[in-house]
Structure 1
Amino acid sequence: MAKAHINETNLLLEAAEGNERSFTELFYWYYKPLGRFVFKMTDSQEITEEIVQDAFVKIWLRRETLKHIDSFGAYMFAICRNETFAAMKKIAAEKVFRTDFEKYLTVEGEIDLLDNPTEEYRAMIIAAVAKLPAQQQKVYAMSRYDRLKYEEIATHLGITVVTVKKHIQLAVQFIHKDIASKRLNAGLILVLTTPLILR
């Protein structure tokens, strides 16, 4: 388990009151340790990222409960463990009852979009990304979805690392602006647009 943040109690109290900066600090502190923990069980980068991101989204949506938590780390590890078991059980069940797994994912995805706010939020971000200029969209996708390092993206596209960073910065700024009028706030944008780099 990750070491507790030195200012965790105050951060939890502030996050419970809606302070996005405090929530962001907790997110950055625990995101990678939780990712490593979940990855040991899933052996899947994609499933791991979704589980950990979903856990943070759910916590933010009921953030008023944070002031009652003694150990945020223990709490988050327990949530991620339970979510991982549920996800693996669901996948195992589908392998038994379905021969066409891709069809299952499509059907379930449509259901989740209606019942799961996290999927709705992801859809907003995907729609915003689709509006980016071609080069920004390419750089953002290589960073966020392909999980390439800035140096790798720069080499692949024949541009400088500084240019890659600028494209990412502009892309994230655009995403924030594009969905600012919607109910997805800055804290959740951060959670859902931050790639999980385990290496």
Structure 2
Amino acid sequence: MTTKSIALTHEDLARFEAGDQRTFSKIFDLYYELVFQKVFRFCQCKEEAEEITQEAFIQLFIHRDKIKDCEGFFPYLYITAKRLAISFYRKKIVRQEYQAQLKKNWQEQDQPIDAALDGKYLKGILSEVLEELPPQQQMVYRMNKLEGYSYQDIAEKAGLSKNTVRNHLSLASKVIRLKLEKILFSVILICSIFF
């Protein structure tokens, strides 16, 4: 850990506080694997560990004014990732309970109609949320999540670095996830009231 903090200078810290993307990429490169490994040990799922790790970096960037020295990056990331992992699993349990309840109350004859309505509704919501994103985040998200392009393919086609693609995708995913979670919460609330 000390070798990583030595690699960052006070100029890096000042640039990071000012929102410099290159410095953020440098910090991301230095600490990503270390934070990812810690999270992976907790959740044992690569995709979930990647998502939580990326979210920790987003929180670091959003709250960059809280880092007062070069040694503060890893502790902040570690604590944030740990809290996010715990929160992620709490939400996962709630979702599993909701799905079990929904499955229990689901009626066979409603499935085709409900599935068609749900699909159209969710596509409409996703489309609206995507339109609110900045153009590059929108493009990267569409190419990766909707068209199946890899980070490398997107980087080559868009003329961006692989880290920039990863950062754009991470930020876009966070915004979309937060908005969809609010909608899911509303649906759960409505279902619990009316069903």
Normalising by the smaller structure, the TM-score range is 0.5 to 0.7
**Per-residue deviation, residues 133-161 of structure 1 (Å, max 9, x unmatched):** xxxx6xx53xx5xxxxxxxxxxxxxxxxx
Superposition pairs of residues 115-126 of structure 1, within 5 angstroms: 124-126=139-141
Question: Which moved further from structure 2: 26-35 or 87-96?
Answer: 87-96
For these two proteins, the number of residue pairs brought into alignment is 146
State whether structure 2 residue 6 is matched by structure 1 residue 6. yes
| Match of residue 108 from structure 2 | none
TM-score, with normalisation over the residues of structure 1? 0.56
- 1:127 aligned partner: 142
- Structure showing greater radius of gyration is 2
Letter in 2 for 1:8: L
- Residues 89 and 63 (structure 1 numbering): CA distance in 2 closer, same or farther, change over 3 Å? same
Whichever structure has more helix as a proportion of its residues is 2
SS of 2:6 mapped into structure 1: coil
Shift in Å, 1:188: 5.4
The within-5 A match list for 1:86-105 is: 86-99=87-100
In the other structure, the counterpart of 2:80 is 79
Give the direction of change, closer, same or farther, for the CA distance of 1:36–1:171 in structure 2 (3 Å limit): same
CA offsets, 1:6-46, max 9 Å, x none? Answer: 14352222211122221111100110111110011111111
Query: Hey, what does 1:189 align to over in structure 2?
Result: 165
Gaps of 5+ in 1: 145-167, 178-185, 195-199
Report the counterpart of residue 171 of structure 1 in structure 2: 154
Gap regions ≥5 residues in structure 2 = 104-114, 116-120, 171-195
Q: Is the alpha carbon distance of 1:123 and 1:46 closer, same or farther for their aligned partners in structure 2, counting shifts above 3 Å?
A: farther
Distance change (3 Å), C-alpha of 1:84 and 1:189: same
Determine if the alignment matches structure 1 residue 59 to structure 2 residue 64.
Answer: no
Identity, in percent, stands at 17
Higher RCO (CA < 8 A, seq sep 6+)? 1
Superposed CA RMSD = 4.1
